[in-house]
């Protein structure tokens, strides 16, 4: 399986997931050249190559994180990549990015799956001020063939909020955080007299950092050597939080985006990791704590209780309760052995149930289900289109190519639908019509009361059919007139009407053809014409040198092309010629005299160079005799053949 990730955010999580997937699959990562999320390599995403599996291709593109006039460039580049690489599935990390939505519209030949990190917006997000952003997010969710959430309980929440069938939503483990192992250079740290409590991550109201600040006096009253580390940044200003702090000396404040190189040391220094969230879905800091065997105190919100086993791998508390938070922290501080065992239990749980190998296994199964569902949808669409085309062509044996992509099918249906509407518009103006007929863009049907259409007639874009003639322009069933072709039986100004044209069933006039049918042209059934074929049923008179050729008039003679003929590209048929049944006129030939049936004519002027009877297929008796003769030959004699 070939998986292509297109991701602006959650790059660290994506890298470790991709490494696990790459053990069994081909993975292509399309990331921005620079990322504010990446706190290593000076934000240059190319620096990640050192930690990537050999089965991963990393492609970095500019303008993936900016709403500038060039934001469409990565979309077109990724569209080209998808068409060249032909991945089995494209995976987005949800980031409200209109580029993802644009890519889904431009490249419909592959199923898309989206990881939803926050099924419901956090309470402090001002949706009314970001309507476009949330409209884009909802459109991406609706158009995705599958959605991944990081918790069983989140499936129903996402289904209810976004009105998406729950069958399209798949729970996948969040996974351990192996990413930071690459930056873990410290074997051990000497401990001082202090005990450290860590809050790590975004400083947002829903994260409950203020709850921890309010709990600090309750904790340090019992354990005066405790230091609380507040590490991170966000929309909550430090000045706002400082107003709540009672004992500033008990805090170590790191109000900046923590470099990836510092993260392992922070977690190893800490005795307890606290996640006092008011609301959440899943938590990266929780899984990082498990990877470093640190005990946690976690509020029982979102899908966090699915990861934390209360009293075994962490302590669950109710949200918005500083006293409960202080009691849980003190419980761990009072019993260091219990806290250490809890951290080890958390690490064991994370490396088993939440291992990246487990994530890759579950996610691969999701991919297979989404791809299978997409193929079934494609099969149903193909079946509907096949049935429609069979009815249109009135041919029960007509088959479409199985390799057609869903986008191609949709485009074909759209084009047929518009052509059918244009055909209905012309219907009342035509002399006679039967069944359905399809008229392309910018088609000119002039003097329509002289035009007779059979069933399933197709006039492709930009062709011109002049109807004014004595016998009319008559098309049989399943006839196609190619783009930019011209059918002209008479001059535009009606000086002298021509005879007209009759085309049999299942014949086609190729693109850029010229059919001058003033002397009358009859084309039989099953006739094929290549591009730029010309038929002229009149010639200018030129015998008198003392007068202009224009004044000498024309001589009109009929042309007949019998059934099952092939007029190859650029061939020219002149007035008075009959091309016999089953004949072939080679490309670029000029035919000035009759061609016998089942002949191959070539040259200028065309000469018969071969008879198709020479290619007569052997009957069953002849085939059996030949096989018997071959079976009597030795191996060396067969090799000489």
Residue of 128 and 153 predicted with greater confidence: 153
Residue of 13 and 493 predicted with greater confidence: 13
For residue range 568-601, what is the model confidence (pLDDT) as tens digits? 999 999 999 999 999 999 999 999 999 999 999 9
Residue of 171 and 415 predicted with greater confidence: 171
Mean pLDDT of 123-136: 70
Report the pLDDT value the prediction gives residue 109, as an integer from 0 to 100.
84
For residue 50, the SS3 value is helix
406-615 matches 2-171 in CATH topology = no
Lowest mean pLDDT among 29-33, 301-305, 619-623: 619-623
Q: With beta carbons less than 8 A apart as the criterion, state whether 257 and 226 touch.
A: no
Mean pLDDT of 49-76: 83
Q: Alpha helices of 205-255 — where are they, by DSSP H?
A: 209-220, 238-242
What angle do the packed helices 336-352 and 284-291 form, to 10 degrees? Answer: 110
Mean pLDDT of 217-237: 95
Angular region, 271: left φ>0, alpha ψ -120 to 50, beta rest: alpha
C-alpha–C-alpha distance, residues 12 and 34, integer Å = 13
pTM: 0.68
Mean pLDDT of 290-319: 95
Report the pLDDT value the prediction gives residue 617, as an integer from 0 to 100.
61
Topology of domain 2-171, CATH? Rossmann fold (3.40.50)
Topology of domain 406-615, CATH? UDP N-Acetylglucosamine Acyltransferase; domain 1 (2.160.10)
Mean pLDDT of 344-362: 92
Report the pLDDT value the prediction gives residue 591, as an integer from 0 to 100.
97
C-alpha–C-alpha distance, residues 352 and 173, integer Å = 11
The answer on pLDDT for 634 being more than 70 is: no
For residue 247, the SS3 value is coil
Report the pLDDT value the prediction gives residue 618, as an integer from 0 to 100.
62
Mean pLDDT of 395-416: 68
The answer on pLDDT for 237 being more than 80 is: yes
C-alpha–C-alpha distance, residues 262 and 253, integer Å = 14
C-alpha–C-alpha distance, residues 25 and 153, integer Å = 29
Pull the structure tokens for residue 391. Answer: 């009815």
Q: What is the average pLDDT value for the chain, to the nearest integer?
A: 88
Mean pLDDT of 378-399: 69
Lowest mean pLDDT among 138-147, 151-160, 318-327, 415-424: 415-424
**87-108 b/e (C-beta count within 10 Å ≥ 16 → b):** bbbbbbbbbbbbbbbbbbeebb
For residue range 411-422, what is the model confidence (pLDDT) as tens digits? 766 777 787 788
Mean pLDDT of 41-69: 85
The answer on pLDDT for 127 being more than 80 is: no
First to last CA, the chain: 44
Q: Which residue is it, tokens 């296994």?
A: 361
* Half-sphere exposure at residue 133, Cβ-oriented, CA atoms within 13 angstroms: 11
Lowest mean pLDDT among 133-142, 529-538, 590-599: 133-142
Report the pLDDT value the prediction gives residue 164, as an integer from 0 to 100.
93
Residue 32 to residues 140, 203, 261, 443, 575, Cα–Cα distance (Å): 20, 25, 21, 46, 66
> Could you give the percent of the chain with pLDDT greater than 90?
59
What angle do the packed helices 322-334 and 336-352 form, to 10 degrees? Answer: 100
C-alpha–C-alpha distance, residues 629 and 97, integer Å = 70
Mean pLDDT of 287-297: 94
Mean pLDDT of 307-333: 96
The answer on pLDDT for 301 being more than 90 is: yes
The answer on pLDDT for 407 being more than 80 is: no
Contacts of 45 (CB under 8 A, 6+ apart): 11, 31, 32, 33, 34, 35, 38, 58, 60
Report the pLDDT value the prediction gives residue 395, as an integer from 0 to 100.
67
Mean pLDDT of 44-67: 86
The answer on pLDDT for 494 being more than 60 is: no
C-alpha–C-alpha distance, residues 5 and 48, integer Å = 15
- Report the number of secondary-structure helices (H) and strands (E) in the chain: 16, 38
* Nearest C-alpha neighbor of 56 from the set 16, 89, 84: 16
Most confident of 118-127, 372-381, 443-452, 594-603: 594-603
Report the pLDDT value the prediction gives residue 534, as an integer from 0 to 100.
96
Q: Which residue is it, tokens 């976004």?
A: 162
C-alpha–C-alpha distance, residues 316 and 288, integer Å = 17
**Confidence category of residue 635, pLDDT binned at 50, 70, 90:** low
C-alpha–C-alpha distance, residues 29 and 85, integer Å = 12
Q: What is the Cα gyration radius of the chain?
A: 38
Contacts of 138 (CB under 8 A, 6+ apart): 162
The answer on pLDDT for 129 being more than 70 is: no
User: What are the domain boundaries of the chain?
Assistant: 2-171, 180-354, 406-615
Q: How many CB atoms lie within 10 A of CB 186?
A: 10
C-alpha–C-alpha distance, residues 240 and 533, integer Å = 81
C-alpha–C-alpha distance, residues 216 and 209, integer Å = 11
- Beta-bridged to residue 584, according to DSSP, are 566, 600
Query: What DSSP assignment string belongs to 320-380?
Result: S-HHHHHHHHHHHHH-HHHHHHHHHHHHHHHHHTT-HHHHHHHHHHHHHHHHHHHHHHHHH
The answer on pLDDT for 531 being more than 80 is: yes
**Confidence category of residue 180, pLDDT binned at 50, 70, 90:** confident
Per CATH, the number for 180-354 is 3.40.50.2000
The answer on pLDDT for 57 being more than 90 is: yes
Report the pLDDT value the prediction gives residue 616, as an integer from 0 to 100.
58
The answer on pLDDT for 394 being more than 70 is: no
Return the ∠ at Cα 413 (arms to 411 and 414), rounded to 5°: 65
Residue 522 to residues 459, 487, 511, 561, Cα–Cα distance (Å): 19, 13, 19, 6
The answer on pLDDT for 622 being more than 90 is: no
**Confidence category of residue 552, pLDDT binned at 50, 70, 90:** confident
Report the pLDDT value the prediction gives residue 187, as an integer from 0 to 100.
66
Mean pLDDT of 6-10: 87
**585-624 b/e (C-beta count within 10 Å ≥ 16 → b):** bbeebbbeeebebbbbbbeeebebeeeeeeeeeeeeeeee
Residue 607 to residues 521, 562, 578, Cα–Cα distance (Å): 22, 18, 14
Lowest mean pLDDT among 65-74, 210-219, 461-470, 613-622: 613-622
Q: Which residue is it, tokens 């991550």?
A: 201
Pull the structure tokens for residue 458. Answer: 């197709």
The answer on pLDDT for 177 being more than 80 is: yes
């Amino acid at each position: 399986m070939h998986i292509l990730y297109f991701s602006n955010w959650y790059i660290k999580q994506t890298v470790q997931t991709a490494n696990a997937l790459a053990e069994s699959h081909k993975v292509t990562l399309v990331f921005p050249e620079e990322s504010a999320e990446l706190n290593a390599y000076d934000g240059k995403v190319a620096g990640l190559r050192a930690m990537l599996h050999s089965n991963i291709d990393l492609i970095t593109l500019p303008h993936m994180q900016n709403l500038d006039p060039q934001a469409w460039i990565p979309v077109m580049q990724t569209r080209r990549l998808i068409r060249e690489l032909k991945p089995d599935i494209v995976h987005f990390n949800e980031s409200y990015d209109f580029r993802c939505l644009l890519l889904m519209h431009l490249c419909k030949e592959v199923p898309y799956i989206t990881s939803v990190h926050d099924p419901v917006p956090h309470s402090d997000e001002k949706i009314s001020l970001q309507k476009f952003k949330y409209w884009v997010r909802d459109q991406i969710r609706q158009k995705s063939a599958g959605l991944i959430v990081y918790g069983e309980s989140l499936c129903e929440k996402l289904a209810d909020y976004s009105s998406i069938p729950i069958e399209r939503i798949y729970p996948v483990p969040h996974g351990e955080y192996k990413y930071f192992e690459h930056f873990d250079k410290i074997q051990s740290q000497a401990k001082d007299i202090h005990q450290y409590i860590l809050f790590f991550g975004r400083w947002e109201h829903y994260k409950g950092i203020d709850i921890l600040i309010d709990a600090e006096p309750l904790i340090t009253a019992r354990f005066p050597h405790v230091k609380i580390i507040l590490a991170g940044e966000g929309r909550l200003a430090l000045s706002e939080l400082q107003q709540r702090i009672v004992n500033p000396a008990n805090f170590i404040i790191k109000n900046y985006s923590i470099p990836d190189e510092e993260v392992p040391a922070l977690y190893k220094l800490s005795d307890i990791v606290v996640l006092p969230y008011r609301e959440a879905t899943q938590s990266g800091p929780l899984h990082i704590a498990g990877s470093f065997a640190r005990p946690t105190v976690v509020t029982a919100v979102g899908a966090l209780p699915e990861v934390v086993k209360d009293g075994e791998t962490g302590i669950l508390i109710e949200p918005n309760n500083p006293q409960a938070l202080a009691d849980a922290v003190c419980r761990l501080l009072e019993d260091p052995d219990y806290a250490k065992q809890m951290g080890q239990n958390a690490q064991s749980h994370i490396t088993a149930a939440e291992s990246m190998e487990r994530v890759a296994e579950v996610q691969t199964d999701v991919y297979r289900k989404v791809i299978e569902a997409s193929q079934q949808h494609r099969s149903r669409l193909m079946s509907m289109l096949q049935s429609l085309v069979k009815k249109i062509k009135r041919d029960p044996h007509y088959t479409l190519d199985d390799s057609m992509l869903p986008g191609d099918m949709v485009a074909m249906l759209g084009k047929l639908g518009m052509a059918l509407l244009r055909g209905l518009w012309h219907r009342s103006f035509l002399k006679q019509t039967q069944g359905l007929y399809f008229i392309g863009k910018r088609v000119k049907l002039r003097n329509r009361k002289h035009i007779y259409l059979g069933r399933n007639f197709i006039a492709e874009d930009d062709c011109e059919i002049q109807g004014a003639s004595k016998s009319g322009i008559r098309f049989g069933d399943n006839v196609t007139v190619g783009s930019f072709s011209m059918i002209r039986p008479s001059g535009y100004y009606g000086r002298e009407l021509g005879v007209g044209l009759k085309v049999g069933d299942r014949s086609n006039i190729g693109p850029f053809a010229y059919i001058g049918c003033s002397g009358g042209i009859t084309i039989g059934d099953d006739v094929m014409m290549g591009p730029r074929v010309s038929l002229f049923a009149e010639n200018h008179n030129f015998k008198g040198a003392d007068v202009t050729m224009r004044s000498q008039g024309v001589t009109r003679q009929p042309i007949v092309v019998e059934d099952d003929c092939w007029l190859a590209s650029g061939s020219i048929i002149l007035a008075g010629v009959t091309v016999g049944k089953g004949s072939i006129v080679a490309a670029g030939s000029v035919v000035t005299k009759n061609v016998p049936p089942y002949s191959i004519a070539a040259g200028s002027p065309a000469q018969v160079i071969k008879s198709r009877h020479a290619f007569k297929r052997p009957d069953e008796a002849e085939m059996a005799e030949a096989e018997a003769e071959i079976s009597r030959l030795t191996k060396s004699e067969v090799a000489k053949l």
